[in-house]
Structure 1
Amino acid sequence: MTDDIYYRSPDGLNLYAKRYGPADAPLSILCMHGLTRNHKDFEPMIAALPDRYQFIAVDVRGRGLSDRDPKAENYSPAIYAGDMATLLDHLNLKRVALIGTSMGGLMSMIMMKTMPDRICGVVLNDVGPVFEKSGLDRIAAYTSNTEPKAGWDDAARSVGEVQAEIFPDYGPQQWLAFARRTYRELDDGRVALDYDPAITRTVAQVRPGLLTRIAMWKLYKDMTKVPLLLIRGETSDILSAKTAAKMIRKHPDASLITVPRIGHAPILDEPEAVEGIRDFLTKVEART
């Protein structure tokens, strides 16, 4: 069962999310995507997990079916986290688990700071308090090219060229499916990336210096209030193995899953990720 969810942000934007599963489920999970993605990013994962749960997958402002923001400065994880509070109020959800990929993981950390009583567990997908500069540079490079493609085949080829090192075992079918999750069709038959190009300003603002790292580790400390599952792509250039190990050491109830032969970030339909998330949600459900 799926439902479209439309709601308004505090500053008047029309925002979108999609519900998968029963509204009266024993556990609700809020799924928050990465910088250039949208709610469809979680469909492979949701299809592989038990259908007894309610998954709410969002289009953060500026992506997918959500309004583009005329004020580019509002493309900020702190603003996005505020939108998530509005969504939870709209759905009358008192407590949820979070699954956050990359930027969505940053949103999760902010939400643990600002609304800890509403969260019962967090899955962080390939993100932590320290961002490797090489990964940020790679993301900044590929997000700068937003020219529409002639059609879906061209979009699939483009995605394959950009993401080949991240998903080395993907073939034509996987690249086409990837493209259909990240592009939208225009009236003239061309396809375009499904986000406002202005969102890329966020990448340029991330400066992984000493003060930023201190602030981020302080923010991460609030994550220790709930169970944590950390998922890392084996070849990730955003979350290093060293940072992931430190995150586990600093958390009293955390576990780490490494997805082999995948970079930043796993799609979460990989067998290792599916098994780990299923077990984690079972544990969180038992505690709620």
Structure 2
Amino acid sequence: MSGHEGFSDFFYAAPDGLKLHARIYGEANSDAWPVVCLPGLTRNTRDFHELALYLSSNARTLRKVTAFDYRGRGRSDYDPDISHYNVGVEAGDVLAGLSELGIEEAAFIGTSRGGLIIHVLGALKPVMLKAIVLNDIGPVIEAEGLAHIRSYLDRNPKPKTFAEAVDAQRRVHGAGFPALSDADWSRMVTAICRDADAGWVPDFDPALVETLAGVDVTKPLPDLWPQFDALAAVPLLAIRGGNSRLLSAATLEEMQKRHPGMETTTVEGQGHAPFLETGSLPEQIANFLDRTEREVVPK
């Protein structure tokens, strides 16, 4: 049911029966490509709330927006088998949700891990991808960036109050995000944490951190250039945080060479990954989708 927040909750069964969750915004909007939002490793649907409201309620072209909680995140069930916390399984979960919703094609917005899942979807069901927005992710993941993510997940602070939670996020991420306002930091905490008996805790299965334990961050990580090259015919907007440790400027430049039609934007004063609701990013994303759809489906 729709609530005052501007979205409805959708629950469905994964291929292995696990109960999963998604949010749907602008369900009645059917005149334009729908949008599918895929969050980062430990993130959830709330990361996209402001952007989804804009695209479904305030942009020039109103779109249906569906954002997914992967297994073990947000309102989706935790998986007792942590080996299932991987990009391949999560891509299958997304496909199962889209099938139940009757979405056969859409524009996809992927932040970090969400962008990796888009690469997999391009191999599994390429006709589904009408346009792509990659938020601070590409075919090459810098080991330094992954090491930073693993480091702050391992530290796992346990703030008791909301103010302590905001302060904890500032301490970890402040150097990479000098452009953020107080409101941005507060919104970040409400997006990635939940208020529990033990205080403000990360809204994901703690076992998820274990999936990073075996990654050797002293060596280059496997790349996805073949999968990226397979997306050459799909309109693409790549967003990079100016202070990103995960997506390098060199990788972005190589992506541009391999995908000459790709549009890029760099968000100064933000790291991994830029907040898509800040600055002019909502308008840039909406304009990219409108322009792309007009070129593919002339009115």
Counterparts of 1:173-192 in structure 2, within 5 Å, are: 173-186=183-196, 188=197, 190-192=199-201
1:279 aligns with 2:287: yes
Partner Cα distance (2:215, 2:120) in 1: 16
| 1:135, distance to aligned residue in structure 2 (A) | 0.8
Change (3 A) 1:129 1:244: same
After superposition, the C-alpha distances for 1:156-182 in whole angstroms (9 at most, x for unaligned) are 111111110221133433222211111
The aligned amino acid for 2:253 is A
Separation (CA, whole Å) in 2 of partners of 1:85 and 1:175: 32
Give the match for residue 231 of structure 2.
223
Instruction: Encode CA deviations 1:89-119: one digit per residue, 9 max, x unaligned.
Output: 0100111110000000000110011110111
The alpha carbon displacement at 1:276 in A equals 2.2
Aligned equivalent of 1:195: 204
Change beyond 3 A, Cα 1:211–1:172:
closer
| 1:65 counterpart (55, 75, 94) | 75
Matched with 1:33 is 39
Q: Distance in 1 between matches of 2:144 and 2:42?
A: 18
One-letter amino acid of the counterpart of residue 10, structure 2: I
Extract structure 1 runs of 4+ deviating beyond 6 A: none
Q: Is the 8 A contact 2:7 2:25 kept in 1?
A: yes
1:105 matched to 2:115? The reply is yes
Tell me the residue number matched to 2:271.
Answer: 263
Q: Residue in 1 aligned with 2:174?
A: 164
Equivalent pair of 1:95/1:120 in contact (CA under 8 Å): yes
CA contact (8 A) 2:180 2:270 kept: no
Structure 1 equivalent of residue 102 of structure 2: 92
Which letter maps to 1:140? R
> Contact between 1:148 and 1:193, CA under 8 Å: does it hold in 2?
no
Counterpart of 2:210 in structure 1: which amino acid? R
Give 1:18's aligned amino acid.
R
Aligned residues: 285
Deviation of 1:204 (Å): 3.9
TM-superposed deviation, 1:146: 3.2
Which whole-Å CA distance do the structure 2 matches of 1:266 and 1:204 have between them?
Answer: 25
Residue 19 (str. 1) matches residue 24 (str. 2): yes
| SS of residue in 2 equivalent to 1:278 | helix
TM-score (norm 2): 0.90
Deviation at 1:205, TM superposition (A): 4.7
Between the aligned partners of 1:201 and 1:122, the Cα distance in structure 2 is 30
8 Å contact kept, 1:146–1:197: no
Instruction: Give the conservation status (yes or no) of the 8 Å contact 2:142–2:221.
Output: no
CA RMSD in angstroms comes to: 1.8
Moved more, 75-84 or 19-28: 19-28
State how 1:69-88 maps to structure 2 within 5 Å.
69-88=79-98
Unaligned runs of 5+ in 2: 1-5
SS state of the match for residue 37, structure 2?
Answer: strand
1:142-201 CA-to-partner distances (Å, cap 9, x unmatched) read: 011335421211111111111102211334332222111111111x36221100122223
Q: Distance in 2 between matches of 1:74 and 1:50?
A: 32
Distance 1:68 1:278, change over 3 A: same
C-alpha contact 1:226 1:253 (8 A) present in aligned 2: no
Identity %, equivalent residues? 35
CA distance in 1, matches of 2:151, 2:220: 24
- Structure 1 counterpart of 2:253: 245
Matched, 1:142 2:147: no
Match of 2:255, SS state, is helix
Q: Partner letter of residue 77 of structure 2? A: D
Find the aligned partners of 1:255 and 1:131 in 2 and give their Cα distance. 20
Which moves more between the two structures, 44-53 or 104-113? 44-53
TM value normalised by structure 1: 0.93
